[in-house]
Each structure stands twice: as structure tokens, then as C-alpha cells.
Structure 1
Amino acid sequence: MTTLLIGPADKTVTITVQQRTHTAPQDAFRILVPIDLPTVFRPVAPFPGISSVKNQTEAWDHAGARRNPQFDDGSQANEELTEYVLGSSFAYQLTGFTNVLSRLAAGIRGEFNVNPDGDGTLIRWTYEFKPLPGRRWILAGPFAPLWRRYMVAALDRCVHVIETKDNSEQPLLRAE
């Protein structure tokens, strides 16, 4: 059983971004969940991108699955899928950072929600930081706009992958 990082009494710093896609929710979810992390999490100064993923021994489709994202700067983190609702949402927590985040946060809870939006989908992504004592002001202040910029760029790339794969999997129509 997973021990959750963040509880009701924690004072966290939350950053949420969202983007729409013309892709149907079930297709967006199917493509988003196993997305190739190095493809979408590229460097956005001052943050490194993800260069690879190690130690993923299970499919990323159920609570309890684990992996270790490796960052471009040589650091890494521990990631565990904590919630998985087929077709609509998944949540994960990141701990054990070996970069500057280890001095700012005890960890992070991330969550993706995939919601119907007309003929397409609204994807909402939230990062909830659990600050270390005395560090909340840094995360909520100068850190937040920089991290939001990183998230916007990554979500834009996620939507691009979703729309590209969705279009490539559609049958071709032929003129007769």
C-alpha cells in the first residue's frame, strides 16, 4: 500500500495548467498515460528535461507502478503511480530528488485529468508541491512562474503527441 505524500493538513503550493485538444477523451487518455517522457519533458531554463526512465518494471497503468525519471543534468527522482481511473485521470508522486528540488520540497503530487470538452478533450495537469519547512515562500514566489512555464511547454508537447498519434491511427479515406 502506498503511503501518500500529502495529507489534508499540509500547506502545499499548487500549480495547474490546462489545454484543449480535438482528440476524444478516451483516445487522449490512451496516448497520454504511457507517453514517452523524454519526448515531452524537454529542458526549459532553468529546469532540465527528462533524458530517460529507469527501473520501470510494470506497465504504467495501475496504482503502485514505479519508475525513476533521469534528468539531463544527471539527477533523478522516484515516481510512483498513486491513482489510476481508466479513461479519466491518474495521479503520481515524485520523491527522492537528487537535484535542487531536494532542498525545496519533500515531494510532489502530480495529477492529470482528461475531461470531455465538446467534440474534444480538456486536459488539466496539476503539480502540488509539499514544501520543506521554511521553503514555501520560495516555491510559491519566484519558483512558481518558472515551473508554470515548464508545465505549459510540456503539456503543449503532450497535446502535440496526442493529436499526431490520434491522426496517424485514423483510417485513411480514399476518393473512389
Structure 2
Amino acid sequence: MTAERGTVELTTQDLRAVTAFAAARAEPVLGLFEAERPDDLRPRDAVEAAWAFARGGERGKLLRDTAWAALKAAGATDDAAAGQAARAAMAAAGAAYLHPLAKATQVKHILGAAAHASRAAELAAGDDRTRGAAHIARAAATASPEVVDVLARYPAAPDGGGRVGELIRLLDTALRG
């Protein structure tokens, strides 16, 4: 569904569906961050901003600001699982900024929150990769047809990105299968 060479057609409803999926995947791991930094609401604020957009709110400054703040929160903790949970929140708010560029790197906007949340769960369980795989399976099972349709407009997820990149590719493959 290419509008012109190198671009993808995206509607506001497409962006809302992708953002709702990302927020739903990030929200369950917020407790990992909050247990480590109970007074730091930046990741929760990012997920709440993502939900607000997904439910009809504005795609604007609040999303950008909370995404950046969640990323800064990730850097403010020494706990790897908490950091990945904050990155999941950042990716949830950032999902609203999926670009209509037919590039594999854009898949990270669609699946990044789920991958970071899955990595957070792995790390919280002593780097148990079966936990991440279980999170990816749940993410695949909960992705709406709209999210799968948007994903199908883009090339497959790119190589690289360490373990989070692997998790993105696992989910990408599951959703395209």
C-alpha cells in the first residue's frame, strides 16, 4: 500500500491503533521501573500520554516530551530491567510518530515497546529468555488486525539492535506469519 515510491499510507486511525498496541505492551512492566524509582513518574506519564492519543487525543508536544522524559528516566537507573521498562514506555509514546517511510527501521516504532517490555521481563527474571519469548507470544496474540495491517506495509524488521532487536524480529515474524 505505497502512496508513492518509498512512502506508506498512514491514517491517524492507523497511528492510534499502533500506539494503543504499544501502550498495552509497555504498561504491564511499568512496575519494574516504579519498584526501583517509586517517585519517578516519567515512564508512567509516557504510557498515559500514549493512551490519551490512542483514545482520540492530540498528537503533539506532550507525546514528544513524555517520550524523551521516559528515555531520560531509563538512564537514571542502574537496574537493567527498570531501564528497559522505561524504554518500553518511551517507545509507547514514540509509536505515535511512526513515519510513512517504507523503511525497515520504522518497524521499531510499531514493535519497540513490546520488545523492550519483553526484555525487561527477561532481565527481571535473571535474563530468562523464556520470559521474553512468552511476552512476545502474548504481544503477537493481542495485536489487532489493524496493527498487523500497518506492519505489513513496511519491510521486515532490520538486523542488529542486540537482544531487543532479536525480540523485535521474533514479534515481526510472528505477526507476518
- TM bucket by the smaller chain? 0.3 to 0.5
Select the structure that is richer in helix. Answer: 2
| TM-score (norm: length of structure 2) | 0.33
Select the structure that is richer in strand. Answer: 1
Higher relative contact order (CA 8 A, sep 6+): 1
| TM-score (norm: length of structure 1) | 0.33
